[in-house]
């Protein structure tokens, strides 16, 4: 899978993409993540990529030309399944959407900034808009990193145990059951006896009941869906 990210702050991805699972995925060549500085695609001598909004209003707007030039350049190199814009009014990111995106070959992620992007970009160049929640970030970079992490971990071979992602919260519409590790007892706090029984069926039934209970307690909205 290849992910091309368009941003005016490429350095913001240094931390998330140079550590842990994402770094291993790129080292193993399971994913190719390329960061593109939008300022490289402007004809303005001062590398300007934003301007005032028509009809006034607070905040600057990202200009259409450099974004179009960047996307056009990328599309001249390969075909893309989706051109994603990280936006607070996009479709809310969830596990099902991550699963679907993880099956794609090539995607572009555009990170907005300031007051947003020229609406003509959304109308003519963007094929999917995604939000990471009902709040506003300073820019789309953190949201793009979240989307990338959620998607890449689902690619076969990225996680040490390929079945791990299948048991994550939300994969079956429930949050995950509680988990425990050694020691079996600490300060009088004990691991539930059922997990030490060795009976897989009883353990699986317990985990399912715990997942349902925890979902009902913490995320009852999932059970309604």
Same fold, 2-152 and 169-224: no
Residue 185's CB is within 10 A of a number of other CB atoms, namely: 9
What CATH code would you report for 2-152?
3.40.1280.10
Confirm if 100 and 154 have CB atoms less than 8 A apart: no
Which tens digits make up the pLDDT trace of 1-15?
999 999 999 999 999
Confirm if 129 and 122 have CB atoms less than 8 A apart: yes
Which tens digits make up the pLDDT trace of 131-164?
999 999 999 999 999 999 999 999 999 987 655 5
Residue spans per domain, the chain: 2-152, 169-224
What are the residues whose beta carbons fall under 8 Å from the beta carbon of 111, sequence distance 6 or more? 5, 6, 7, 8, 9, 86, 139, 140, 141, 143, 144
- Cα separation, 11 vs 35, in Å, equals 9
The pair of three-digit structure tokens given for residue 80, joined into one six-digit string: 């893309």
- Cα separation, 11 vs 33, in Å, equals 14
Which tens digits make up the pLDDT trace of 12-67?
999 999 999 999 999 999 999 999 999 999 998 999 999 999 998 888 999 999 99
pLDDT at 216: 95
pLDDT at 62: 95
Candidates 4, 64, 53, 61; CA nearest to 32 is 4
Over range 214-222, report the average pLDDT. 94
- Cα separation, 137 vs 143, in Å, equals 8
Confirm if 42 and 66 have CB atoms less than 8 A apart: yes
- Cα separation, 42 vs 53, in Å, equals 18
- According to CATH, the superfamily of the domain at 169-224 is tRNA(m1g37)methyltransferase, domain 2 (1.10.1270.20)
Q: Which helix (H) or strand (E) holds 25?
A: helix 20-27
Share of the chain above pLDDT 70, in %: 95
pTM for the predicted model, two decimal places = 0.89
């Amino acid at each position: 899978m290849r992910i091309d990210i368009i941003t005016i702050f490429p350095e913001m991805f240094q931390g998330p993409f140079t550590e842990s699972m994402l770094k291993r995925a790129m080292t193993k060549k399971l994913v190719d993540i390329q960061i593109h500085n939008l300022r490289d695609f402007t004809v303005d001598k001062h590398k300007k990529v934003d301007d005032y909004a028509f009809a006034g209003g607070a905040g600057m707007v990202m200009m259409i030309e450099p974004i179009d030039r960047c996307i056009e350049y990328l599309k001249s190199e390969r075909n893309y399944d989706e051109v994603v814009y990280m936006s607070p009014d996009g479709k809310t990111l969830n596990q099902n959407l991550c699963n679907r995106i993880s099956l794609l070959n090539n995607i572009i992620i555009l990170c907005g900034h300031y007051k947003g992007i020229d609406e003509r970009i959304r109308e003519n160049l963007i094929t999917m808009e995604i939000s990471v929640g009902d709040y506003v970030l300073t820019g789309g970079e953190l949201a793009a990193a979240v989307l990338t992490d959620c998607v890449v971990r689902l690619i076969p071979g990225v996680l040490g145990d390929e079945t791990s992602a299948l048991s994550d919260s939300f994969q079956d519409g429930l949050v995950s059951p509680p988990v425990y590790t050694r020691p079996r007892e600490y300060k009088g706090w004990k691991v539930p006896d059922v997990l030490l029984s060795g009976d897989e069926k009883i353990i699986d039934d317990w985990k399912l009941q715990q997942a349902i209970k925890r979902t009902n307690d913490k995320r009852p909205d999932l059970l309604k869906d």
